[in-house]
Amino acid sequence: MDFCVLVKISKRTISFWYQAEENLYAPLIINDTNIIPLCFYVNGNDFVFGNSAKSLFYSNDPNAFGNYFDIIKDPSKHFVFYGIKKPVKQLLYYGIEQYLSFFINTVLYKSDSIESYRQNFPLRFYFETDIEDKEKSLIVNIFTEAGYDNIESIDFKYSLFETLQNQKVVNLNRNILLLSGIDNTLYLELFRASSWELLKNIKLEGLGADPRVKILAEMIIDYVTVQNPHLNLDKKTEIGHILPSVAGLLENYTPILKGEIELMDGNKYWFTIKSRNLDERLLYTNTDSQIYSAIDELLKSSGISVDNTILLLGSEEISTPFFSTRLLKKYSSVISLKNSIFDESLKLIFSKISSNGYKSSKKVSAPPPMPNSGLNKTAPATNANSQSKEKATQIPPLPQVKAHSPPSVPMIDKSESEEKKASPVPPKIPSLKNESGEKKNVGAPIVPTIPKIPEFSKGVEEKSKVGIPPLPPLPQKK
């Protein structure tokens, strides 16, 4: 198979990219975006994945699910699909398979079902820094036991460093300290010079953003709460959610910062903030010393010299002139990574996948255990091998999609994305078989069309109308 789909997974969102027939990689876009919130809605035979499910989840619909990586820790939690009770960990499996079916139908222009592709489907996972090793193992195991043999977990950071080296941004003889801000948590990962071996990693909660970004986010949530007293918001969660959007507001720093902000319920709310008030609050904020202490302790405990270490700022929440200037007061080498670097890193990843014939380079195994850092705020490392014995629940097989049925399209609403829409591969004439196995002649190309996707409106109670084509069950494990 001369194509591949790459799935990026973080705690709150999931993103899709693909490459087909050695063309340049592109985002797998539906309704203007390839970034989907990790929310699900299951009612009878209806399965919805994305923004529509997100709206229902924050409306407290009992059939909607969010906080995926929290609820899978409870083995008693389940959902009922096609009348069969299933553990909640399989929600992600069904959501991803919807997108793989969409890819087959609308990019490859095939009317085949996903079932006939599973064993050899080139599927790659790129896990964000906030995903733990045991969670990575769980996801890989679910797909392996479902019959996916051509899968692999991609080491994105290695490709990132290789890209930086090729562009002469980093020196192989210097150690790398990569800083990433996710949901207002600052992740620090220390890599050894030359080999790029991960030495230690820690996380600092509440420090994963430029101080101005965090303060502005707090002020916006306070403003929205005052203007809309009927809202019952989890302030900490909402602040983490809007940080990436707020970071963009500071690029044009004007006396009055105003606009609309989308909260976790999917609704947008107006705000207006005086920059003077933001500057005044910043005077009483001192997070620099906490970050300095964490970096110094991390380097010292690893026997690494500060002078022989480069600090890389790897997310938009902290890749700001203000944040880097604060770090430069103490550390001599601080580099903010641009989006173009990440684009080139993805290009390198797909280039390697293509050169390997779209086949997994090695049998997928559980990720190696992450080292402990020794700091009080360090995330406890988990040995993924200890989780490898977990038996994923067997998923029943899916029924074949009828030859002339419209393509299976996930129920996904519109949301913003900076990704560009990819051009589809020209349609081909499929070879179809009837129930007796004999081939049927197809006189003209069958070009699948994407049915109009219904959207949820406020106050709509008839959720059963929001359906998707039936999802087939999984094959029984032999």
pLDDT the model gives residue 362: 58
Pairing of strands 35-37, 334-336: unpaired
Q: Does a structural domain hold residue 403?
A: yes
Q: Does a structural domain hold residue 433?
A: yes
Co-location of 380 and 420 in the same domain = yes
Co-location of 144 and 36 in the same domain = yes
Give Rg (Cα) of the chain: 24
pLDDT the model gives residue 58: 86
For 236, counting Cβ atoms within 10 Å of its Cβ (0-12 exposed, 13-18 middle, 19+ buried), the class is middle
Co-location of 267 and 315 in the same domain = no
Co-location of 135 and 193 in the same domain = no
Co-location of 307 and 371 in the same domain = no
Picking from 364, 348, 470, the residue whose alpha carbon sits closest to that of residue 48 is 470
Co-location of 243 and 101 in the same domain = no
Picking from 20, 229, 167, 44, the residue whose alpha carbon sits closest to that of residue 107 is 20
Q: What is the CATH number of the domain that holds 300?
A: 3.30.420.40
Beta bridge partners of residue 335, listed in sequence order: 312
Q: Does a structural domain hold residue 471?
A: no
Are residues 94 and 408 in contact, defined by beta-carbon separation less than 8 angstroms?
no
Q: Does a structural domain hold residue 477?
A: no
CA distance 50 to 252: 31
pLDDT the model gives residue 442: 43
Q: What is the DSSP string of 294-317?
A: HHHHHHHHTT--GGGEEEEE-STT
What are 113's two structure tokens? Answer: 């079902």
pLDDT the model gives residue 473: 55
Q: Does a structural domain hold residue 265?
A: yes
Co-location of 336 and 314 in the same domain = yes
For 475, counting Cβ atoms within 10 Å of its Cβ (0-12 exposed, 13-18 middle, 19+ buried), the class is middle
CA-to-CA separations, 103 to 26, 151, 261, 280, 314, in angstroms, rounded: 12, 16, 31, 50, 30
The residue among 342, 366, 384 that closes a domain is 342
Helix (H) or strand (E) holding 18: strand 13-20
Co-location of 39 and 135 in the same domain = yes
The residue among 234, 256, 282 that closes a domain is 282
**Which strands sit side by side in the sheet containing 309-313, from one edge to the other?**
198-205, 185-191, 175-182, 309-313, 334-336
Are residues 29 and 443 in contact, defined by beta-carbon separation less than 8 angstroms?
no
pLDDT the model gives residue 472: 52
3-state secondary structure string across 322-390: HHHHHHHCCCCCEEECCHHHHHHHHHHHHHHHHHCCCCCCCCCCCCCCCCCCCCCCCCCCCCHHHHCCC
Other CB atoms within 10 A of residue 227 CB: 12
pLDDT truncated to tens, each residue of the chain (478 aa)? Answer: 789 999 999 999 999 999 998 789 999 998 788 899 999 999 999 999 998 899 899 888 999 999 999 999 998 999 999 999 999 999 999 999 999 999 999 999 999 889 999 999 999 999 999 999 999 999 999 999 999 999 999 999 999 999 999 988 888 789 999 999 998 899 999 999 888 999 999 999 989 988 888 899 999 999 999 999 998 888 988 998 888 888 878 877 788 888 999 998 888 999 999 988 888 888 777 788 899 999 999 999 999 999 999 999 999 889 888 899 999 999 999 999 988 999 999 999 999 999 999 998 754 444 444 444 333 343 333 343 333 333 333 444 433 333 333 334 344 443 333 343 344 444 443 444 444 444 444 444 444 444 444 443 333 334 433 344 455 555 554 4
pTM over 0.75: no
CA distance 307 to 305: 5
Beta bridge partners of residue 270, listed in sequence order: 260
Helix (H) or strand (E) holding 439: strand 439-440
* ∠ CA 61-465-55, rounded to 5°: 35
Other CB atoms within 10 A of residue 61 CB: 14
pLDDT the model gives residue 469: 47
Q: Does a structural domain hold residue 380?
A: yes
pLDDT the model gives residue 287: 84
Helix (H) or strand (E) holding 102: helix 90-106
Calculate the CA 412 to chain-centre distance: 15
Q: Does a structural domain hold residue 475?
A: no
Name the residue type at position 315: S
Domain membership of residue 331 as a residue range = 157-207+287-342
Picking from 286, 284, 288, 277, the residue whose alpha carbon sits closest to that of residue 220 is 277
Number of domains the chain is built from:
3
Q: Does a structural domain hold residue 476?
A: no
Picking from 293, 330, 287, 335, the residue whose alpha carbon sits closest to that of residue 310 is 335
First and final CA of the chain: distance in angstroms? 24
Co-location of 387 and 411 in the same domain = yes
Co-location of 202 and 215 in the same domain = no
pLDDT the model gives residue 402: 37
Co-location of 186 and 250 in the same domain = no
CA distance 252 to 13: 27
Other CB atoms within 10 A of residue 407 CB: 19
The 8 Å CB, 24+ separation contacts for 454-462 are 454/411, 455/52, 455/413, 455/414, 456/52, 456/55, 456/56, 456/413
Pairing of strands 35-37, 13-20: antiparallel
Co-location of 251 and 110 in the same domain = no
Q: What are phi and psi of 13, to 5 degrees?
A: -135, 165
